[in-house]
Structure 1
Amino acid sequence: MGKRTVHVSDFSGKVVHSADKVVRIVVLDHPDLVAGPVQLEAEPTEVENIDDAALDVAVVEIHDGQPGEAPRRVVLTASEFDALATDVPMAQLLRTAERVRPAKTSRERIDYSSLEHAGKPHRGRVTEEEARLVRDQLDEVNKRLADEGIRQIDPADPEHAARYGFPTP
């Protein structure tokens, strides 16, 4: 028995007879989009004029300095945005403006000395707090590790014994 996938255009409801003819459209922003980007499928003929309908726009964020408020994102036509520059042409202004560097993302540090994370494999050294927690609550730690599909800690394993301070056999 085999399986057959039928692609249907999200725009028109028509069956797209050839899978290699399906066009995928990712909607990144739309006033009715509430839970992040979505993808739609369509026939190539349904979206062939989409580039002709495209607008030249400027997408800007307005940081007005209000404490605790996120910046506002505004989309306007490029010509409306260009008209804001009255001293120097916008093209020149954009070429000489200060570059914005993306904010560094800080990786959240995992606290391996907590029951939630103790015993998980990691590259750092095992702190005395983590080792004590693993020794004192080995059954609970191993149950959580097994539930998460992670290797369990075996006190008879010389590597685990050394890492978590179990007596060596």
Structure 2
Amino acid sequence: MGKKTIRVSDFSGTVLRPDDEAVRVVVLEHPDLVAGPVQLDATPTEIENIDDAALDVAVVEIHDQHGGGEPRRVVLTASEFDAMATDMPMAQLLKTAERVRPPKARRGPEKIDYGTIEHAGKPHRGRVTEDEALLVRERLDEVNKRLADAGLRQIDPADPEHAERYGFPVAS
């Protein structure tokens, strides 16, 4: 038994033949959209006038007490927004307004604190802090169990390298 897939336009329900071109439309924002972006299939003719129907809009964030301190995003027509500027034209106001700097991008993963029981003793290139060494010495069984469960090498106080790294007494 085989399966047959039939593509259908989400807009009109029109069945698309295998050689028909389908257009993917991703809906990013809509008042009825509740769980994030969705995609719809359409025929090119169904969306050919979409650019003509597009509105000139202004999308703004309002930072005030409403919404528990979170900014509100508001979409309004550009002409409605432009009318709010009464001292000078909005175009001039936007050219001279203070720039908003985007938040700094994070520089990779968060730094791991090896001075906590969760990470103490894990292999790493950095220097072992006194906090990490103390945790390893005082709670060696717990640290080694966690390392073994994670498939990592365990710490052996008799190993001269481990003894030096974590401050175990060196056997003479």
TM-score, normalised to structure 1, is 0.67
Counterpart-to-counterpart distance in 1, 2:154 and 2:105: 36
Counterpart-to-counterpart distance in 2, 1:122 and 1:11: 55
Counterpart-to-counterpart distance in 2, 1:17 and 1:123: 59
Counterpart-to-counterpart distance in 2, 1:75 and 1:51: 18
Specify the alignment match of 1:100 in structure 2: 100
Q: 1:27, 1:39 within 8 Å by CA — same for their partners in 2?
A: yes
Specify the alignment match of 2:78 in structure 1: 78
Counterpart-to-counterpart distance in 1, 2:29 and 2:95: 27
Counterpart-to-counterpart distance in 1, 2:164 and 2:16: 58
| Structure 1 residue 103, shift from structure 2 partner | 2.1
Specify the alignment match of 1:111 in structure 2: 113
Q: 2:114, 2:120 within 8 Å by CA — same for their partners in 1?
A: yes
Counterpart-to-counterpart distance in 2, 1:56 and 1:82: 11
Counterpart-to-counterpart distance in 2, 1:122 and 1:46: 58
Specify the alignment match of 1:63 in structure 2: 63
Match of 1:140 among 141, 146, 164: 146
Distance change in 2, residues 1:34/1:125 (3 Å): farther
Specify the alignment match of 2:53 in structure 1: 53
Q: Which stretch shows the higher mean deviation, 129-138 or 80-89?
A: 129-138
Counterpart-to-counterpart distance in 2, 1:59 and 1:10: 28
Counterpart-to-counterpart distance in 1, 2:13 and 2:126: 54
Specify the alignment match of 1:10 in structure 2: 10
Distance change in 2, residues 1:66/1:33 (3 Å): closer
| Structure 1 residue 140, shift from structure 2 partner | 2.4
Specify the alignment match of 2:39 in structure 1: 39
TM-score, normalised to structure 2, is 0.66
| Structure 1 residue 53, shift from structure 2 partner | 1.2
Q: Show structure 1 runs of 5+ residues with no match.
A: 147-151
Q: 2:114, 2:121 within 8 Å by CA — same for their partners in 1?
A: yes
Distance change in 2, residues 1:13/1:67 (3 Å): closer
Sequence identity percentage: 63
Residue deviations 1:105-137 (CA, integer Å, cap 9, x gap): 556443334444456565544445445449432
- What's the C-alpha RMSD, in Å, of the aligned pairs? 3.9
Amino acid at match of 2:92: Q
SS of 1:39's equivalent in the other structure is strand
